[in-house]
Structure formats: C-alpha cells, structure tokens
Structure 1
C-alpha cells in the first residue's frame, strides 16, 4: 500500500515514518548566539521593511499604480515566505536539531513551494507591466487597469497552488520508512524530503523535475524576452534623461529577478548529488533570507517616490506637521 503512513507496519516488520529530524547547521553550533542574533536582525528588517512598504503604498494615493500594486504583493509574499522558514531556522540554531512531524514537514514544504512559485509568477507579471509601460505606453492605461492587475495576481497564486498541489500529491504517494528520518537542511525542502522515501522515486523525480523546471525556466525565459524588447525600446529613446529614467525603473527588478531565478535554477533544475548538500544550503539561504532582505532596499526603499511618500506620510506625522 502506498501513501504516507503513520506508525503502521508493512509485512508486519516495516515501520513507517511519523516524524523527521532537521539537522540544520551542525558546524555553526559553537557560534549559535552570534548567528542567532544575525538572523533575528535580518528577520526583523525583512518584516519591518516590507510592512513599511505595504503601509506606505496603501496610504499614499500617488502610489496607487499597477507597478506599486505588484510591489505591495511582492512585499506580502516576502513576509509570509520568510515567516514560514526563519522561525524554524532560529530553533535549529539553539537546539542544533529539531523534530517535526512528517505532516508538519510537508505543510512547510507546501507553503514554501506555493510562496516561491507565486513570487516567480509575480516577477513575471511585473516584467510584463514594465514592457507595456515602456514599449506600449499608449495602451498601458487601457490594459493594466485595476481589475486586470487583480486577475494577474490571482492567476499567479492559483497557478502556484495547482502546481505545488500536484507535486505534493505525487510526493504523498511515496512510502516514508522509519529507518531514514534525518534531513540535512534547515527546512523541509523538496529534494531532502524526497530522499526520505524508501520506495522507487525515479518516476516521481522525473515528474517533479519537469514541473519544477517549467515553474522556474518558463518565467525566466518570458522575463528575458520582455527585457530584450524593453532594452531595444530604451535604446531608441533620444533623450538621455528618458533613457536613465527607463533603465532606473527596470534595474532593480532585474536584480531581484536574476538573483532569485539563478539560485532556484541551480537548486531545483541543475542535477545535484550528496556532495552538494552544503552548497544547496548556501544557495537556499540566498532565496529564503538574502533576497527578501535586499528587496525592501533595492526594489522600493531606493525608489524616489517611495522615499518621498515615507517622508510625507510618516516622518511629518511624527513631527506633528
């Protein structure tokens, strides 16, 4: 019988997995207080920075445009995605290893997969928004109205839920045996969880590999194509000031896109083996911690309109003006 089984017997001798052991960062246990303090500061900055961006965009009517609507959704994604990962990581730093139920592990994997895929699709939507704004400015207002923007965000979430549900569905058909219960990672990632299976995973790996490849590669190719057209349009602009303004609206988005996509591509699309576990941990830190902490700065707080809105809506209120 296949599927996730809890504390049952197979052929009256095989016990099935009910919990998993996360090993986290074994080599950093001696420096746990320092590393814990660093991650607490990072997590606080991620939460405060992204919440500030959301509040500023919502409260300032001048920022109620499609671009900032998508930025607001991106900030919300960064909050929920890091909240799904970092608290568990903080426990690991102090306890060196923690036990999770198999169900809890799969829930974390499901949420992480959904949030990550949604961010990929949302970044794709944002590249389309920039393409219309720069290459088709006369059609921009008629196409990117509020209802259509909501549809695009909803489609990003729905597509992610469906893809990750299929992946988790195939994963749940595997037998997870009690003799293999350790995950050498700081969260329940797809590849380490699949490694817990004691049944044949070749077909499942192929299906999951195809789905992950489509989820990462397809948005990356679409974004690359849109920016080829954007760069061509920008180069045709006669005004130097116009070129700088157009490039400034795209450079931060490109930085986030390529940092995020390249790390995901290396972890989930490029074949890996046991010797690359530590490398995968470092790469995983890039898209679970480093990118979220960079987003508030390079994508929004470095934006003149955002900084002006912060000054008007927050600083002046504190001063009583």
Structure 2
C-alpha cells in the first residue's frame, strides 16, 4: 500500500514540475514565451504522467480491496515483486499511448509563427485551436484514448470499492467497519478530486472550442489536487496528527511566552 503511495507522490511531483517552474519563470521574467520543442515536450510529459496516475489510482483501489477483503492472502497476492511489476505497468501504460497523439500534434501545420497559446501551459485544446487544418479526427482519437484510460480506470475503482462496501457491511462490529472505511477515505477523496476535473476536461469529443472555460478546472487538476494530497493522506495518520498537535501547542506556548515577556518589559519601562 505504501509502495503505491510513494509512486503516486513521485508522479505528482513530476506532474507539477512539468508545469509550475515554467509558469513561475514566465511570471517573474514577464516573457511569456516557450519554444515549439519545449511546448511539445511539456504536452507529452503532462499527459504521460497524468495517464500513469489514473492507472495507479485504479491499482491502488484494487490494492485496498485485496487488503480489506482478503487480508490473509494479501501478502501472497501483493508481494514485493508483484507490486514492482504492477507499478512498472502503470508507468509504461501512460508512456506508450500518449506517444502517438504527441507526434500527431507536433506534425500539425500551425497558422503562424509566434502564435499565442491561450493557456498557462501547452494543453491539447489550446494547441489544436492554433492548427490551420481540420483537427476533428485527432480530437476524436484523443477522446477515445482519454475515455479508455480515464473511464476504464474509474470503472475498476468503482467496482473495487463496491466490493469493499459489501464486504465491510458484513463485518459485525461497528469499530471494525469504521476501521475498514477509514483505510479507504483518503484514497476516495483523491479519486473524487482528480476524476471530476479530468472527465470534464478530456472525456468529450471536442476540446479546441472551450479553452476559456477549461482554465479554472485545469488549475484544480494541476495545482489544487497535488497540493491537497499530502494533507489528505497525512492527516489520516495518527503519528502525523500527534506531531501537528505538538507543534501547534509549542507555537501557542512560545507566542504566549513572548507576549508575557513583552508585557513585563513594557511595565518596567513605564516605571
């Protein structure tokens, strides 16, 4: 379970690194330019890492199902070698399907040199909007690939959690049910955040005609979700909770001590 969580963290670090450094550089230098090669590279890695993350989220849901519904067989079913092979399959599963659409976008004829991408990174919709040719077939291909990756992984996640719910409801003790559900809460929150925005953005036949409305939703996918994920997973850990409580108590105690010392010094100064 923690092995897949480490892979998810690595994917999200890489995903944000593809977009945020360039965006911050543009804001600081006020030179909002990107070369064509860098734009295509950003396009490829964004979709490659995103597709791998969807596959990994589906694998994590199956991992939760096996841990809850088959706890005695779990060490055998999800051994170290199996986990490595499954994680590698997720990375390769995102790497290969995105290669074809990336090459197709790179070979498109664009209307003019120095065209303006109406976005804060090289997303598929803004790039297709700049093409001087009919991109309907390419948009349909993107739609099919996005549907296969996103909808299929969502279906696996839904089936896994459906089986988990049925298994948990059969547990006689309330504490056992609560413990089982608490194991899945963090993953469910992440899945909900990630899938809602991704389905709105990419599981539709046309992407080039709605660039403006996509901007706010893309921010959720690229900034908000990766930012919230460490807090979502960490706050489910009791040790992290205790550490945060201790840190909060220490900060409050230091603040009150400094305030008390300032009052004492002010009283002495007045006398």
TM-score for both structures, normalised by structure 2:
0.84
Contact residue 84 and residue 112 of structure 1 kept, 8 A = yes
| 1:293 Cα offset (Å) | 0.8
Which residue in 1 is equivalent to 2:228? 294
Which residue in 2 is equivalent to 1:226? 160
Contact residue 235 and residue 241 of structure 2 kept, 8 A = yes
Contact residue 180 and residue 196 of structure 1 kept, 8 A = no
Contact residue 150 and residue 199 of structure 2 kept, 8 A = yes
Alignment of 1:38-49 (within 5 A): none
- Which segment drifts farther, 242-251 or 189-198? 189-198
Which residue in 2 is equivalent to 1:262? 196
Contact residue 126 and residue 208 of structure 2 kept, 8 A = no
Contact residue 92 and residue 186 of structure 1 kept, 8 A = no
2:84 is the counterpart of 1:164? no
Misfit runs of 4+, over 6 Å: 308-311
Alignment of 1:117-136 (within 5 A): 117-136=51-70
Contact residue 105 and residue 188 of structure 1 kept, 8 A = yes
Contact residue 56 and residue 87 of structure 2 kept, 8 A = yes
2:36 is the counterpart of 1:102? yes
| 1:91 Cα offset (Å) | 2.9
Structure index of larger Rg: 2
Which residue in 1 is equivalent to 2:238? 304
Aligned residue pair count? 245
d(CA) in 2 for partners of 1:310 and 1:214?
Answer: 41
| 1:300 Cα offset (Å) | 2.7
- Aligned mate of 1:152, from 86, 96, 105: 86
Q: Which runs of 5+ in 1 are unaligned?
A: 1-66, 312-321
Higher relative CO (CA 8 A, sep ≥ 6), structure 1 or 2? 1
| 1:222 Cα offset (Å) | 0.9
Which residue in 2 is equivalent to 1:200? 134
| 1:275 Cα offset (Å) | 7.2
Which structure has greater strand proportion? 1
Secondary structure, in 3 states, of the residue corresponding to 1:121? helix
2:167 is the counterpart of 1:238? no
| 1:90 Cα offset (Å) | 1.6
Deviations 1:21-55 (A, max 9, x none): xxxxxxxxxxxxxxxxxxxxxxxxxxxxxxxxxxx
Which residue in 2 is equivalent to 1:89? 23
Alignment of 1:1-40 (within 5 A): none
Q: Which runs of 5+ in 2 are unaligned?
A: 246-271
2:198 is the counterpart of 1:284? no
CA distance 1:148–1:137, change in 2 (3 Å):
same
Secondary structure, in 3 states, of the residue corresponding to 2:34? strand
Deviations 1:236-291 (A, max 9, x none): 11111111111111011001001101100000113567774333111101010000
Which residue in 2 is equivalent to 1:249? 183
Contact residue 124 and residue 207 of structure 2 kept, 8 A = no
CA distance 1:241–1:111, change in 2 (3 Å):
same
Deviations 1:30-88 (A, max 9, x none): xxxxxxxxxxxxxxxxxxxxxxxxxxxxxxxxxxxxx1111111111111111111112
d(CA) in 1 for partners of 2:30 and 2:209?
Answer: 21
CA distance 1:170–1:264, change in 2 (3 Å):
same
